[in-house]
């Protein structure tokens, strides 16, 4: 089954599904579906014009570089906050598995605004 991911929201949705699949049983069909999701995510994040490039990631967080479409620093800050910032929401449960932004830094490269994004996952 080919999984076609076309937006960052869809990618985050499939990342959450993958997280729950890892905690579920590991039957043949489940493993195949998880592999399909991983291929779809890999295709999305490694496409030539993708807005997000992962620098480093592990089970509890990571770093990514995000290409922004903004023209000014203020617009870049607003775009990052609206589209890419992970907001931490406290929960009554100990480990939610949800990501949250630790820090970010805006910079200009080749005339485009970009952001280094450091995030963690509540594990």
pLDDT of 80 over the 90 cut: yes
Q: How far is CA 101 from CA 40, 63, 64, 69, 88, in A?
A: 24, 10, 11, 20, 8
pLDDT score for 106? 96
The pTM (predicted TM-score) of the whole model is 0.57
Q: Mean pLDDT over residues 34-49, rounded?
A: 82
> Can you give the pLDDT at residue 107?
94
Domain boundaries, the chain: 1-50, 51-123
Summarize the confidence of residues 13-29 as an average pLDDT. Answer: 82
pLDDT, greater one: 50 or 14? 14
Asked whether the predicted pLDDT for residue 92 surpasses 70, the reply is: yes
């Amino acid at each position: 089954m080919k999984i076609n991911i076309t937006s960052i929201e869809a990618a985050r949705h499939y990342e959450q599904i993958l997280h729950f699949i890892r905690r579920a049983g590991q039957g043949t069909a489940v493993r195949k579906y998880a592999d399909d999701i991983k291929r779809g995510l890999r295709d999305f994040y490694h496409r030539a014009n993708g807005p997000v490039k992962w620098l480093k990631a592990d089970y509890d967080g990571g770093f990514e570089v995000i290409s922004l479409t903004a023209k000014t620093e203020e617009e870049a800050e607003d775009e990052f906050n609206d589209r890419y910032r992970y907001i931490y929401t406290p929960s009554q449960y100990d480990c939610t598995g949800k990501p949250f932004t630790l820090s970010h830094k805006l910079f200009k490269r080749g005339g485009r605004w970009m952001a280094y994004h450091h995030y963690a996952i509540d594990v």
